[in-house]
A and B are shown apart, each in its own frame.
Chain A
Amino acid sequence: MTALAARPRLAPLTEESVFIGRSLRHSLRNVEGLVMAVVLPVTLMLLFTYVFGGALDPSGGYVDFVVPGIILLCAGFGASSTAVSVNQDMTRGIIDRFRTMPIRAGAVLTGHVVASLARNLLATAVVVGVGVAVGFRPSAGPLAWLAVVGLVALWILAITALFAAIGLAAGSPDTASGYGFILLFLPYLSSAFVPIATMPGWLQPIAEHLPVTPLIDAIRALLLGGSPDGWDIVWSLVWCVGIIAVAAVWGAWLFRRRAARR
């Protein structure tokens, strides 16, 4: 009989690389999630461009107006499956296996967030491509495009972090998915689809102060070759970083509480 050794220490970032790989595989295999992330936003874009577009803007330029909103909508749809994935991990026993190992179990969440970022940047690219196919004509230069990608990535991270926290808070995958849907309606109350000035007076301040509004205005200005309002950029950054910070603190608290409860 030999004395068995303790587990070796892991090389730095082993957990992150393993869990990111795991979540990326999940993304590729979760067909429902992929469809949700690409087909739904594309369908909405076609709907808004062809069905409502004529009434909203008879000149046919509505597609240029709506694409930035669709991009943010797309990020929301794609990130929402993170809530379900996180909740499944927490409720199906696999987290207990990770928690009994000398690893940073919280890296499971990092994996889900990074996979969501990759998944949604890809979905966004597809959506923009379809947009161009139906007449969207961005006139942004390379720097403006870089700024757009940066803002979109930051928004994806923010909303994913929020969905991950919702996944931790929800009692079951079904409720996680249900709570998530509420967030997906936010862009409709912003400047994504119609100018805020056309909304009823009581709704305008709400729409103006939703986090998606400065983001959409900034992205729209950048894509259409104009120079964005500096405040839109500032508010976009403040909102995204704020949401990430709140979601991270809330998520860390929920993660510990779930562990202690059992």
Chain B
Amino acid sequence: MEMIRMRGIRKAFRGTAVLAGLDLAVETGEIFALLGPNGAGKTTTVGILATLMRPDAGQASIAGHDVVRAPREVRRRIAFTGQAAAVDELLTGEENLRMLGRLSGLRPAAARRRAGELAERFGLGDAAGRRTGTYSGGMRRRLDLALSLVFPAPVLFLDEPTTGLDPRSRRELWTSIRALADDGTTVLLTTQYLEEADVLADRLAVLDRGAIVAEGTPAELKSRHGADATLDDVFLALTAESDSPSAARIGAGA
């Protein structure tokens, strides 16, 4: 069943087109990666699906609920982790988790239990009792993700979830995301790391200047570019004309 659907989505900011008629479909329980250089429109795509931005044209829906006409029904089914770590710095990690629990409909005692579980699972340990203003970037990111998982939403949006994480934390996060998908969560993530898309994604799309230039499983995309092609080759070939200096950086990041 199609959980995420976009048809002909357009969005411009101050006259500059960011999305130029985007089509996208993600099946229930799939991990779908949006790959692209900076400025390709990845964050805008996620922002529209997560009801943060309104598209100028086109249709987008989550589990059949239109993001513009029924944002509340969409919000009941999604969890969102943006690029900026959205944690409350004056509260402790535990208090952050409890707050999200309460806002997700848990009673205080249940919210407390859930906070304890997630702090444990994301290796916050003793730090859960400290204010998040004292956290390292990696810890903050882990808490940020834990906050999105307080309620097991059917759809999870992750905008560059592993940017700034060390390799070990990144792998741990991949394991967590994979486990979520195995439990039925549909995951749409954006990434600058080709390796991430390769390891994690069931399917991926390469976004360049607001349009999808390739879509398929990692294996399909690679085979289209020759027997020994890597995702780097695919990516660089597809976005070669892009004058964005970040394309090189993305290649290097893999």
| 1/0 contact string of A1-44 vs chain B (CB within 8 Å) | 11111111111001100100010011001100000000000000
Contact of B75 among A2, A29, A95, A101 (CB under 8 A): A101
- The CA-CA distance from A66 to B102 in the complex, in Å, is 45
Contact of A4 among B50, B53, B72, B185 (CB under 8 A): B185
Contact present for A7 and B77 (CB under 8 Å): yes
Question: B54 contacts which chain A residues (CB < 8 A)?
Answer: 260
B242 within 8 A of A: no
A102 within 8 A of B: yes
Given A2-B183, A29-B90, A18 and B102 contact (CB-CB distance below 8 Å): yes
- The CA-CA distance from A164 to B75 in the complex, in Å, is 26
Contact present for B82 and A96 (CB under 8 Å): yes
A94 within 8 A of B: yes
Contact of A7 among B50, B83, B104 (CB under 8 A): B104
A99 within 8 A of B: yes
Chain B nearest CB from A102 CB (Å) reads: 4
Nearest chain B residue, comparing its CB with the CB of A99:
B52
- The CA-CA distance from A100 to B105 in the complex, in Å, is 15
B247 within 8 A of A: no
- Pick from B83, B90, B104 the residue with the most CB of A within 10 Å: B90
Q: Is the interface of A mostly helix, strand, loop or mixed?
A: loop
B116 within 8 A of A: no
A206 within 8 A of B: no
Contact present for A14 and B82 (CB under 8 Å): no
Question: A93 contacts which chain B residues (CB < 8 A)?
Answer: 82-86
Contact present for B103 and A18 (CB under 8 Å): yes
Contact present for B88 and A94 (CB under 8 Å): yes
Given A1-B184, A93-B82, A97-B147, A18 and B99 contact (CB-CB distance below 8 Å): yes
Contact present for A96 and B52 (CB under 8 Å): yes
Question: B84 contacts which chain A residues (CB < 8 A)?
Answer: 92-93, 96
Question: B147 contacts which chain A residues (CB < 8 A)?
Answer: 97
Question: B91 contacts which chain A residues (CB < 8 A)?
Answer: 22, 25-26
Contact present for A14 and B103 (CB under 8 Å): yes
B151 within 8 A of A: yes
A199 within 8 A of B: no
B29 within 8 A of A: yes
Question: A9 contacts which chain B residues (CB < 8 A)?
Answer: 105
Given A6-B77, A96-B52, A97-B82, A25 and B90 contact (CB-CB distance below 8 Å): yes
A103 within 8 A of B: yes
Of residues 69 to 107 in A, which have CB atoms within 8 Å of B's CB atoms? Answer: 92-103
Contact present for B102 and A14 (CB under 8 Å): yes
Contact present for B103 and A103 (CB under 8 Å): yes
6 closest A-B pairs (Cβ-Cβ)?
Answer: A93-B84, A100-B80, A8-B105, A6-B76, A93-B86, A4-B154
Given A92-B84, A97-B80, A100-B50, 9 more A-B residue pairs with CB atoms under 8 Å apart are A1-B182, A6-B73, A7-B153, A14-B105, A25-B90, A93-B84, A97-B100, A100-B78, A260-B54
Binding site for B on A (CB under 8 A): 1-11, 14-15, 18, 22, 25-26, 29-30, 92-103, 259-260, 262
Q: List 29 A-B contacts (CB under 8 A).
A: A2-B184, A4-B153, A4-B154, A5-B154, A6-B77, A7-B77, A10-B105, A14-B103, A14-B105, A15-B103, A18-B103, A22-B91, A22-B99, A25-B91, A26-B91, A29-B131, A92-B89, A93-B82, A94-B87, A95-B86, A96-B80, A97-B80, A97-B86, A97-B100, A99-B51, A100-B50, A101-B104, A102-B76, A260-B54
